[in-house]
Structure 1
Amino acid sequence: MSQEIPGGKRNSVQGDPSEEMSLGTLMDGNFLPDFSYAGYKNGVKPLPRATGSVISVDEFGAHADDSRDDTQAVRAALKAARNTKGPVVVHFEKGRYRISDVLKIERSDITVRGMGAGDNGTTLSFPRPLNQIDKSSSLDELREYIRTLDKRQIEPERNVNEYFSEYSWSGGFIWIQKPGARPAAYLADRDPQPTKITDITKGVRGQSTVEVANAGSIKKGDIVQIQWINRDGPEAGIIKSLYGSHSELAGSHHWSFPERPLVRQTLRVLSVDGRTLTLADALLHDINETIPAQVSAWDGLVNVGIEDLHLEFPVAPHFGHHLEQGYNGIYFTSSFDSWVRDVRITNADSGILSYSSANLTYSNIVTDGSRPAHYGVHLGNVHNVLIEDLRVMNPVRHSLTFNTQSTKCVYKNAEVFVTPTLDQHAGANHQNLYDQVTLHMPAHSSDDGPVAPVFDGSGAPYWQPGHGAYNTNWNLRILITGGASSDETVTIQGVDEGPDARIIGLHGNRHFELDYRPQAYVTKMNEKVGVIPSLYEHQLRLRQKDLAE
């Protein structure tokens, strides 16, 4: 049975002794989560190749490079896919298709596939923004929330005083959502009836078994959600588990909604033995009388894939932060064991937005273009999402984001070339990993010498602090492109973040000092961890050995 223990070692895996010793020595007894469960099928299986019935959009009248609008033909192909039994591939030929409406995927086992994201590949061109074409009611709760709470972007120096756009962090032209599913909770009077299956009586952080009050309706293979709900106010056990000795920093949203889950963990049940459930994941927190939790139903889509496409938006005017018109690429909600692979997104307001999902993999993604963007790849209300081989080549306000209630998510081998920030966006996001991330950025002058504001957390005050315990940076490489000579020390700043962060192997092309608040556990400063280049891959290798025994 897999179990996390101090130092990130396992009590049932004997890996290479030098690697085990190195990780244990590096952590010096400090707890390190096991991040290897992130991704499709919890990381233990490769992304699948699309199989099943192939529906070509050209057969419904969409033809590349003819300068005509292909929207109705593509939507007809998607409708045919919804009505076809079994797995379906919706296929685009090479060339440019013009799309002027939302393409919705509303059932499982659909892959939207092109012929590649580069030259001689498939481009989907979206000439108009969502605020001109989205006529659905899917974001009505968000719209009402914005106006009820008078959420405005106010910049007197620019004569700006406008309501936030609902498309600033929601919606997309490829829109994956189970009909009727709620992407995120905004208004309390819209909260659905509880879906609790049973209470959990015992569970241990890092282990993969729980004891429940009644397992009668739970079956092997079910996808369920473990929910920690705070009904005990600011002193609740789950807040102390989230923030440790800094739990007094928690904002009011941590206890203002006593019937909403504060922490969610969507996972698959591997087996049921009496009242014992074996899970395909390791628990985020202890479960006991002090930290209660429950098993709730989860209903969404599985096996949805988007691959080998170039999504292109025009070089349209940008009106400012939170005023985006909705040039958003992919909107992934209510999904499990799904993926985006080999996709390029140009001139988007946000490239990929993710909500209420788990076990997603985004692989080989490029965002580029000249327009200022809000998000590159966004993670909110999600669990176990793996982003690997991401290249951010456009100006993005929040380039690598862990947003509200994201847990055990991983950016692995990401590289940001313009306006880089590691944005831990408040809202009880915790136990997330930046793994082998490279940032290209200039230093800025200050009274104390050159500084680089790498960690630039944000989010509303009621969701502070910037992150919960055990958000981790592993082999973070910072390449200073200007503002400091090679013999100067650059201070890496993260002055409003969260407690119990782990920063291991921060290095680059200058000598660095670190100003991270609250204080983090820091080791291997100005030195790459060579024996374990990728923490995710190292932990996955150990777990695969565990599974093989």
Structure 2
Amino acid sequence: MRHLKKYFKWFFLLPVAILVQGIGFSQELPSILTSSKSDDESYLPDFSYAGYGFGEIEIPNLEGSIINASDYGVIANDGLDDSKALRKALEATKDMIGSTILQLPKGRLILSDVLYLERSDFVLRGAGSGADGTEIYCPRPMMYMKDPEVLAELREYLLQFDKRQREPENNIDLPFSQYAWSGGMIWTQVPGERVKSYLGKYDVPETVVAEISSGERGAHKLRAKNISGLQVGDVVQLQLFNKTGSPDSDLVKDMYKNTDVKVGSHHWEFPTLPLVRQEVLVTKIAKNEITIKTPLTVAIAPGYEARMVKWKHLKQVGIEHLRMTFPDASFIAHHVERGFNGIFLTRLYNSWVRDVVIHNADSGILTEEIANVTISDIQTTGGNKAHYTVAMAGVHNVLVDNLKVFNRAEHPLSFNTFSTKNVYRNCEVFVQPVLDQHSGANHQNLFDNITVHLNPNEDGSYPLFAGGGAPYWKPSHGAFSTFWNIKVSLLSGLDSTSPLLLNGMSDGPFARVIGVYGNHPLKIAYGPKAYIENTNNEIVKIPSLYDYQRTARLR
């Protein structure tokens, strides 16, 4: 943290006149909010359904049966490994009826094996994330633990496709780690369910409950040609496919709006893999019409072979009030992480993580196939370089709120493969920020009221919008990804009279970049047909688009 303190000290000693240089204030509503048009040029998605309870209710302080981990041999601050005792305490909660809280004691606990959370209506609760709270110290990386059976398919995929990190200039030619984007010392899962589809030979028939023939973008009503076993109240996965074997399919064209961007081969080489998916709550069924709680991200046409399938998941799961610490470790290479991973969320719905500090992790919180989850009041810290802090991959309607990133990370904030309608809100990145969109058919995600602190490059630019990801999943994102009220704090270069160029994104079509401002004049270069408004003006009247849209909807 010492390197950050010097930035803060230097920052607050700056003359006020320099601090406000380039800042404007907009009391008017941005034009995109007041436009009566609904075409692609002015379309703005509704992000207000993200988070626990669709943003309509607060995260609960779950009450129920409280199991004290100390009753099962968990002893803090004794310098001995607590893994067996923690697993014993977890096992005791598995068959309990009703809401159950596993309460961890104050002090340092030592964990050298994965804690799998495998039931609904369950909270893993510490005594606080501060110095007098609960610390889970993880001395060993996951690479030294037994290989998780559920990642066997991933390990085979990495070998079969020879996934390696090759950097000749650094004398690096090393195989990817299975923990580069998966796994965590605290891991939610539905036993026996795949984390993610990697190899088609392991695909099994899914239980189809409805075949969907049509639906409009942004609408809640779908037309079905067949409904079988679907009921009101079900949470299912809506899937859309490109089975044409072509990059020129109507679905791909719609996702990227016919822009001149290179579309990677994974968009058409895996016809049984749904290209667009949403986890949806069914609110009404009337003959052949199905109503869902949340709006469609893209219109549905008959050629997409859209369907609803059963989706196995946990619900009402919470992880809260603790901190996780990993030892100091040297950086080897990108994708070669040893597995100092904090939390891995899979197969969750209407759940949460809150008030958690994660120190020195390779990845703080990783996600895969979760929906309507809120991850709030998180800090990531440490001197180790991370891959991710809190990452969203294959998820829908997830809200990450008040994340503070104090450590260096390859992808500090990241929307990854198949992510849709997710929101980073009120987050702040203090070291080498990137607002990453990581390829893989991700679309309609929101960076909302974000603050970044940066040092510009020597040429007067900074790649704030740089998007990662493999070439076979390009472009970096689909249409209508949105940036709203992004505050840029320059730590140096304020003596320059030239505007700072924010760039890094050349292939993300139809983005909405609204209200990027800072303590120095800015200009923006963004990929094809971006809608850019209110540059150098803070949107004071509507600091958060998510809050604005949610208030309007609930009114």
Cα 1:488/1:18, change in 2 over 3 Å: closer
Superposed CA offset, 1:207-228 (max 9, x none): 1111212334111111111101
State how far apart, in whole Å, the 2-side matches of 1:497 and 1:341 are: 34
Partner of 1:352, secondary structure, is strand
- The alignment status of 1:429 with 2:442, answered yes or no, reads yes
- The alignment status of 1:502 with 2:502, answered yes or no, reads no
State how far apart, in whole Å, the 2-side matches of 1:30 and 1:299 are: 37
- 1:362 maps to which residue? 375
The 10-residue stretch of structure 1 (39-48 or 242-251) with the greater mean CA deviation from structure 2? 242-251
Q: Deviation at 1:51? A: 1.5
Instruction: Please give the TM-score of this superposition, normalised by the length of structure 1.
Output: 0.93
Superposed CA offset, 1:352-381 (max 9, x none): 000011111001000001100000011111
| Contact 2:438-2:477 within 8 A present in 1 as well | yes
The 10-residue stretch of structure 1 (46-55 or 25-34) with the greater mean CA deviation from structure 2? 25-34
- The alignment status of 1:526 with 2:536, answered yes or no, reads yes
Amino acid in structure 2 at the alignment position of 1:515: A
Cα 1:151/1:63, change in 2 over 3 Å: same
| Contact 2:265-2:472 within 8 A present in 1 as well | yes
| Contact 1:123-1:311 within 8 A present in 2 as well | yes
- 1:228 maps to which residue? 240
State how far apart, in whole Å, the 2-side matches of 1:484 and 1:191 are: 55
State how far apart, in whole Å, the 1-side matches of 2:241 and 2:54 are: 25
State how far apart, in whole Å, the 1-side matches of 2:505 and 2:176 are: 27
Amino acid in structure 2 at the alignment position of 1:198: A
| Contact 1:362-1:386 within 8 A present in 2 as well | yes
Q: Deviation at 1:249? A: 2.2
Q: Deviation at 1:18? A: 7.6
- The alignment status of 1:391 with 2:404, answered yes or no, reads yes
Instruction: Please give the TM-score of this superposition, normalised by the length of structure 2.
Output: 0.92
- 1:332 maps to which residue? 345
- 2:216 maps to which residue? 204
- 2:454 maps to which residue? 441
Superposed CA offset, 1:380-409 (max 9, x none): 111011000000000101000000010001
- 1:14 maps to which residue? none
- The alignment status of 1:120 with 2:157, answered yes or no, reads no
Partner of 1:72, secondary structure, is helix
Partner of 1:234, secondary structure, is coil
Superposed CA offset, 1:257-308 (max 9, x none): 1111001100111122222222111111111225441111111111111000
Quick one: which of 492, 497, 510 aligns to 1:487? 497
Q: Deviation at 1:495? A: 3.5
State how far apart, in whole Å, the 2-side matches of 1:334 and 1:134 are: 22
Amino acid in structure 1 at the alignment position of 2:523: E
Partner of 1:168, secondary structure, is coil
Partner of 1:139, secondary structure, is helix
Cα 1:171/1:407, change in 2 over 3 Å: same
Q: Deviation at 1:192? A: 1.9
Aligned residues between the structures: 526
| Contact 2:143-2:338 within 8 A present in 1 as well | yes
- 2:87 maps to which residue? 75
| Contact 1:104-1:174 within 8 A present in 2 as well | yes
| Contact 2:209-2:228 within 8 A present in 1 as well | no
State how far apart, in whole Å, the 2-side matches of 1:292 and 1:60 are: 51
Cα 1:426/1:57, change in 2 over 3 Å: same
Matches within 5 A, 1:199-278: 199-232=211-244, 233-246=246-259, 249-278=262-291
Matches within 5 A, 1:12-411: 23-25=33-35, 30-232=42-244, 233-246=246-259, 249-411=262-424
| Contact 1:368-1:392 within 8 A present in 2 as well | yes
The 10-residue stretch of structure 1 (65-74 or 24-33) with the greater mean CA deviation from structure 2? 24-33
Superposed CA offset, 1:452-495 (max 9, x none): 11011011111100100000000011111113425331111124
Cα 1:256/1:393, change in 2 over 3 Å: same
Quick one: which of 469, 474, 482 aligns to 1:472? 482
| Contact 1:236-1:291 within 8 A present in 2 as well | no
Question: C-alpha root-mean-square deviation of aligned residues, in Å?
Answer: 1.7
- 1:535 maps to which residue? 545
| Contact 1:455-1:497 within 8 A present in 2 as well | no
Partner of 1:100, secondary structure, is coil
State how far apart, in whole Å, the 2-side matches of 1:125 and 1:495 are: 38
State how far apart, in whole Å, the 1-side matches of 2:98 and 2:28 are: 47
- 2:524 maps to which residue? 514
State how far apart, in whole Å, the 1-side matches of 2:179 and 2:96 are: 31
State how far apart, in whole Å, the 1-side matches of 2:153 and 2:305 are: 29
Q: Deviation at 1:245? A: 2.0
State how far apart, in whole Å, the 2-side matches of 1:390 and 1:534 are: 15
Amino acid in structure 2 at the alignment position of 1:257: F
State how far apart, in whole Å, the 2-side matches of 1:266 and 1:206 are: 15
Superposed CA offset, 1:35-86 (max 9, x none): 0011111111111112211111100000111111111111001001112112
Q: Deviation at 1:135? A: 3.2
State how far apart, in whole Å, the 2-side matches of 1:397 and 1:441 are: 14
- Structure 1: give runs of 5+ residues left out of the alignment: 1-16
| Contact 1:507-1:526 within 8 A present in 2 as well | yes
State how far apart, in whole Å, the 2-side matches of 1:161 and 1:18 are: 54
Partner of 1:246, secondary structure, is coil
Superposed CA offset, 1:92-114 (max 9, x none): 12111111110001111111000
Superposed CA offset, 1:112-145 (max 9, x none): 0001101211101100000001332111111111
State how far apart, in whole Å, the 2-side matches of 1:22 and 1:255 are: 33
| Contact 1:424-1:497 within 8 A present in 2 as well | no
| Contact 2:32-2:44 within 8 A present in 1 as well | no
Q: Deviation at 1:22? A: 7.5
- The alignment status of 1:453 with 2:466, answered yes or no, reads no
State how far apart, in whole Å, the 2-side matches of 1:73 and 1:304 are: 21
| Contact 1:145-1:186 within 8 A present in 2 as well | yes
Cα 1:352/1:218, change in 2 over 3 Å: same
State how far apart, in whole Å, the 2-side matches of 1:137 and 1:433 are: 34
State how far apart, in whole Å, the 1-side matches of 2:281 and 2:35 are: 33
The 10-residue stretch of structure 1 (382-391 or 64-73) with the greater mean CA deviation from structure 2? 64-73
State how far apart, in whole Å, the 2-side matches of 1:20 and 1:378 are: 29
| Contact 1:367-1:393 within 8 A present in 2 as well | yes
State how far apart, in whole Å, the 1-side matches of 2:29 and 2:168 are: 55
- Structure 2: give runs of 5+ residues left out of the alignment: 1-26
Off by >6 Å, runs of 4+ in structure 1: 26-29
Higher relative contact order (CA 8 A, sep 6+): 2
State how far apart, in whole Å, the 2-side matches of 1:332 and 1:494 are: 29
Amino acid in structure 2 at the alignment position of 1:163: P
- 1:10 maps to which residue? none
State how far apart, in whole Å, the 2-side matches of 1:368 and 1:451 are: 26
Percent identity among equivalent residues?
43
